[in-house]
Amino acid sequence: MPPLQIPRAHERALVRLADTALLPLRIGRPKARPDHVRRVLLLRLERIGDLLMVLDAIRDARDIWPEAEIDLAVGAWNADLAAMVPGITTRYTVSVPWLAREETAESWPALIQQGRAWRDRHYDIVVNFEPDIRSNFLAWLSGAPVRAGYSSGGGGAFLTSAAPYAASSHVSVNARALITRAAGSRTREPGLRAQPPGLVVPESARERARERLATVRRPLIGVHANGGRESKQWHLDRFASVARALAAETGASIVLTGSPADRPMVQQVEAQLEGTPVVNVAGALGLADLAALLAELDVLVTGDTGPMHLAGAVGTPVVALFGPADPARYGPVGSPSRVLRVSLPCSPCGLVRLPPARCRGHVPDCMNGIAVEAVVDATRALLHDTSGARAHARHA
């Protein structure tokens, strides 16, 4: 049986009702901050891109509490990615039912047991990067004297430091401001970093990537054709047209990426690239090997996807195609990028998961309006601007 779909308006009403019932929790909750922070728990239970967009905030936590043990809880789908985040003492996998897709989610009794087990670690601070009443509840179960998070998704009463999520700011900026509040600082809101966030890609994965690409000519242009959701999907034949044009103009090899489920889609693109040097790795790589391969590319052309953020995290230039999502909130960070979108009265609507009926069953207008020529021009310019730095990075 498919999960029950609750209309967003009803969901918001239920959250408001729950917040009213939780008001007594605010009475007498601890105010003092620990004099010495020994252990910090960071909750980032969402998807791949969501974890990658808070890497700067995780690094901020490491900088602010240099002597503390920093622990990180992620969904099981992000376990391999979490293993590459430096400075983490203990990593937990917590697959919550509201974020799991094809993966098996943990039951609520198991989640409650995990939250209570965190009490044995005696955390001084818990930070929840997800604006959601349910994960705020998990933070509360930890018993930490300082619990920082967002009040916008409900459950602010479970926290000792709660603030609204700034909907006009990038996810990374919100996350870094949350760490600042957890530390009790009153510094100005942080901006986006100029340098790439830190991921430590295993050297064994880097060696496999170099071996895989050793016989193909440069530049290497990655194409990630799956938009992740129907509302963010660009035309497959246009991805192929971009790849053909750039290969013909620059002599590039095309590297096609994707998950095992993406293979039919990627094969459609590859079928239109006859005579073009192609490396198809769709479904063949785990997250560590994908990160290493993306680090070898000269540029990645993609929609608003997890691989877009992963490329940014390893310093690879990105050409990103945006439709219903706002690039000011979810755009690539950490590496040189070009963002392409069309200006429509209805875009960005933010209705990624449940787009309007007129935008379903086909490429929506906000994606359809992105022309092949614009993507080719942006990729060409980015290659020109970053070629020297990429060559230096490969030989460093």
According to the model, what pLDDT value does residue 204 have?
97
Check whether residue 110 and residue 222 sit in a common domain: no
3-state SS string for 35-62? CCCCEEEEEECCCHHHHHCCHHHHHHHH
Q: Looking at the 3D structure of the chain, how many domains does it have?
A: 2
Residues 249 and 174 both lie in one domain? no
Same domain, 210 and 355: yes
Kindly tell me if the per-residue pLDDT of 191 is higher than 90.
no
Judged against a pLDDT cut of 90, whether residue 261 lies above it is answered with yes
Report if residue 10 sits inside a domain: no
Contact (Cβ atoms closer than 8 angstroms) between residue 231 and residue 322: no
Residue 184 is predicted with a pLDDT of 87
Is the pLDDT confidence value at 1 over 50? no
Model pLDDT for residues 112-161, shown as the tens digit of each residue: 999 999 999 999 999 999 999 999 999 999 999 999 999 999 999 999 99
- Based on the fold, state whether residues 350 and 218 are members of the same structural domain: yes
42 and 89 co-located in one domain? yes
223 and 370 in a common domain: yes
Q: Which two tokens stand for residue 52?
A: 């990658």
For the ranges 16-20, 33-37, 392-396, the maximum mean pLDDT occurs at 33-37
Expressed as residue numbers, the domain containing 169 is 15-182
Work out the pLDDT band at 236, boundaries 50, 70, 90: very high
Residue 5 placed within a domain: no
pLDDT value of position 161: 92
Residue scoring higher pLDDT (390 or 7): 390
What pLDDT shows up at residue 25? 58
pTM: predicted TM-score of the whole model, two decimal places: 0.89
Residue 77 backbone phi and psi in degrees, to 5: -65, -20
What are the C-alpha distances in Å from 169 to residues 137, 210, 328? 25, 37, 7
pLDDT digits (tens, 9 = 90+) for 64-90: 999 999 999 999 999 999 999 999 999
Claim to verify: residue 105 and residue 228 sit in the same structural domain: no
In a domain, 233, yes or no: yes
Where residue 369 falls among pLDDT bands split at 50, 70, 90? very high
Residue 235 has pLDDT above 50, yes or no: yes
Angstrom CA distances, 119 to 122, 157, 360, stand at: 5, 19, 46
Mean pLDDT value across residues 225-249: 97
Instruction: Return the CATH number at 163.
Output: 3.40.50.2000
Average pLDDT over residues 90-115: 92
pLDDT in tens, 291-350: 999 999 999 999 999 999 999 999 999 999 999 999 999 999 989 999 999 999 999 999
Let me know if residue 380 belongs to a domain: yes
Query: Quick one: pLDDT at residue 23?
Result: 57
Cβ distance 298 to 389 under 8 Å? no
For 197: left if phi > 0, alpha if psi spans -120 to 50, otherwise beta; the answer is beta
